[in-house]
Amino acid sequence: MDQSKSKSITRRLIAGLIFGFLVFLVVILVGDLNQVSEQVIHFKWAYFPLVLLLTLFNYILRFFKWHFYLGQVGVKDYPLLKSARLFLAGFPLAVTPGKVGEALKGVWLEKEIGLPVSKGISVVLAERISDGLGVLILSTLGVIAYPRYWPAFAIVLGGLIVLIVIIQVRPAALWLLELASKLPLLKKISPGLREFYEGSYALFKPKALLVAVGLGTISWLGEGIGMYYVLRGLDVPGGWETMSIAIFVLAFSTVVGAVSALPGGLGAAEASIAGMLGLLLGLTRGTAAAATLLIRFATLWFAVVLGLVVWGFSRNFLFESEKGF
């Protein structure tokens, strides 16, 4: 592998990993080192493989959504294994600062199948938005039960709906693109903006959006149930109420992490999970912190590890695609 070609992405990844380690330390210290250690030591580890399986269930459904979206932008007969390689390789990019994740997946798609970078980025954006709508659906009952979360819920949902409506009102969108092509600062990138828009327009048509949001809702439900089994492993009493709160906490904290714009939602998601578990289930700081660390290991960091394994087997392809990052 050419060191000069991978230096930038490696630097960003290392920065994200360091930030993640600092967040890890803060969660432990806030939860009290002794209490968190005790909770983790006495955790019923027989539950953890089930949590990982539920996380894999999430990844599998999200992969099929990714592959479905590629078909919507004109990518036909693309082998599932190659598509899965690109999908998994994008996981570590979630913890890199800035927009390198979105941009680099677009570059990989261009190299692999000739899809314009801008259209590839529209696929990544559509993934994020459909995931956002999915977790908002899972959050609905919890928000109804706990009105204090309505403002944040309404702002995020309203923003996503407005964005989708703007994209689907084609005359207005084309007028904006035409205006952008005449502005000095945007003139050079107007062809890319047009490609991005055409991809987004196809991806947010009602039928495609319904399929994607349906897959997103079911996939994130899997991780919500995984959150429940983390709590069971910490001896939190089971039942439908605990499960519903676990699903709500996981879903809403995912929204919080996404809108925070922090890499991987680091810090924001952890604070949200620990705070909501303490508030809604009355867990001690130590138990809430332990649950937060365990579910983040089983979701975010599990994904990063899977992605890095793919990087290890695809180094030349992935890093030779990096141009200017």
Q: What is the pLDDT of residues 303-320, one digit of tens each?
A: 999 999 998 887 766 655
Instruction: Check pLDDT > 90 for residue 47.
Output: yes
- Specify whether the CB–CB gap between 219 and 137 falls below 8 A: no
Identify whether the C-beta of residue 230 lies closer than 8 Å to the C-beta of residue 295. yes
Tokens of 145: 């039960």
Do 130 and 254 meet the contact criterion of CB atoms below 8 Å apart?
no
Look-up: residue for tokens 């039960």? 145
- What pLDDT is stored for residue 320 in this prediction? 57
pLDDT of residue 98: 55
Q: State the pLDDT at residue 206.
A: 87
Which of 243, 313, 308, 301 has its CA nearest to residue 269? Answer: 301
pTM for the whole structure: 0.87
1 pLDDT more than 50: no
Q: Are 252 and 276 in contact (CB under 8 A)?
A: yes
Q: Which of 271, 274, 276, 267 is nearest to 288 (CA)?
A: 274
pLDDT value at position 2?
42
| Residue 5 pLDDT exceeds 60 | no
- State how far Cα 184 lies from the chain centre: 34
Share of the chain above pLDDT 70, in %: 91
d(CA 298, CA 230): 9
Q: Considering only 56-60, 120-124, 214-218, which range has the smallest mean pLDDT?
A: 120-124
CB-count exposure of residue 178 (10 Å: 0-12, 13-18, 19+): exposed
pLDDT for 101 equals: 64
